Chains A and B, each alone.
Chain A
């Protein structure tokens, strides 16, 4: 089978890919998925290593690998069943959002599993089948709550920017477009908002 021209195939939009999958253009669809796997898998795993640095590397390799495959399949399923609307987001961003969500869910499951294991290790101290070594330090629920409370205390304009950035996962370019300002100004504004949120969260935690 000849190697597909990834550059050309991946230049398509998510909407184009929906059409290709919906119209059963099987060969092209397979080519695109093969390219996505070939071009994005390593980048995603690397990203996961840096982003979730607190997790053990061996664990992360397996989980991120699986999350990438599952995310790609979810992307395919969504593109076929529901379709995408024309968005300014790149194909890579869209695929990664599926993979990131899958990865987060899988890591949460893994964390819960390790916590259960840790509890069992405490109960069965004398038995060697459960090790108490594995521990993952991620921010706990209280810290998330502090951030939510801090978000509430912020001015509406700042809060909106953070919601765009982190809930809707918009890039600084998209936020600049919405606000009608230059990209560097938008970046500065996002940074300032995040600094204010950080300050308020710290104040909350001190109180």
Chain B
């Protein structure tokens, strides 16, 4: 026997703890008398635990909400499908209209009439090069869930260069603007500053990468983390960056690159080896 709407509403209110003490007591009695409701509650409980078991979901404060920047509320993480469909239709229609106009314009002005010439006129005919089709990432919402489960903002090192003090303090407090705007092209060039500059560059690129991930600017996050993976001389930060780079790829739904980075992490022994293995296992278990 299925639950009726009122029963299910009560169950939802209970799950959200949106009940008074008296309502909760009545609900407890109802649960004791209704096995279907008990089963449903157990299942909802398991579903919630399954989705949130590795990371606390507290979406109300700025820090953990990847869809908010500097305290401003962004749109819901997933747009309503109805709007998505209309948007897709609108984009498709616009592309068609632009393509048709372009073809019409091209035929009327530049290109010769479509007849077969027996003599080569020497006019170069443009060959249509097929554009690479950007495939929609498969199960991007699941990859995003995995990202959310595994992403934990890294803490600051015990000591860091004075030049980065403000930017990193901001990072620590959840204000990423100073760090994101920190200019890495004008570092002081004094004698013996090369080593210090390298350290500044490493720390800045690494924490910038995480900061951009926090503020949902994934492309920039990937740029900085790639710099770290390619150019960092510090082995520890290199591995850390590889982990965050893998997570960044997960976030954008790029499974292939994420797996590649994770595989590299598992090939060596480091702090992230176990985590990377676990994440890869999870991905293979759910057939991703």
Q: A residues touching B (Cβ–Cβ < 8 Å)?
A: 14, 42-44, 46-47, 49-51, 78-79, 81-87, 89-90, 92-94, 96-98, 100-101, 104-105, 139, 143-145, 147-149, 151-152, 156-157, 159-160, 162-164, 166-169, 171-172, 178-180, 184, 187-188, 190-191, 194-195, 197-198, 201
Contacts and interface: CB of A to CB of B under 8 A. Distances in A.
Contacts of B72: 85
Interface string B17-41: 1111100110110010000000011
Scoring B51, B141, B173 by chain A CB atoms within 10 A of each residue's CB, the highest score goes to: B51
B57 A169 contact: yes
B156 interface: no
A168 B57 contact: yes
27 contacts: A43-B20, A47-B19, A49-B28, A81-B173, A82-B62, A85-B65, A87-B60, A96-B16, A97-B60, A101-B56, A139-B42, A139-B49, A143-B50, A144-B50, A149-B287, A152-B139, A156-B81, A159-B141, A163-B141, A166-B48, A167-B51, A179-B80, A179-B82, A180-B80, A191-B3, A191-B5, A195-B2
Given A101-B58, A145-B285, A46 B5 contact: no
A148 to B, nearest CB: 5
B35 to A, nearest CB: 13
Contacts of A171: 12, 16, 18
A167 B9 CA distance: 18
Interface in B43-83: 43-53, 56-63, 65, 68, 71-73, 76-78, 80-82
A100 B18 CA distance: 13
A149 B286 CA distance: 5
B60 A94 contact: yes
B259 to A, nearest CB: 17
Scoring B2, B44, B285 by chain A CB atoms within 10 A of each residue's CB, the highest score goes to: B44
A207 to B, nearest CB: 13
Given A86-B73, A145-B285, A191-B8, A157 B24 contact: no
Contacts of B16: 93, 96, 169, 171
A126 to B, nearest CB: 36
A147 B47 contact: yes
Given A46-B25, A82-B174, A167-B51, A172 B9 contact: yes
Interface residues of B, number: 63
A4 to B, nearest CB: 20
A79 B61 CA distance: 8
A92 B73 contact: no
A147 B53 CA distance: 13
Given A47-B14, A152-B287, A188-B5, A83 B71 contact: yes
Contact of A93 (B18, B20, B53, B286): B18
Contacts of B59: 168-169
B186 to A, nearest CB: 31
Contacts of B31: 50
A169 B80 CA distance: 17
B21 A82 contact: no
Contacts of A79: 61
Contacts of B184: none
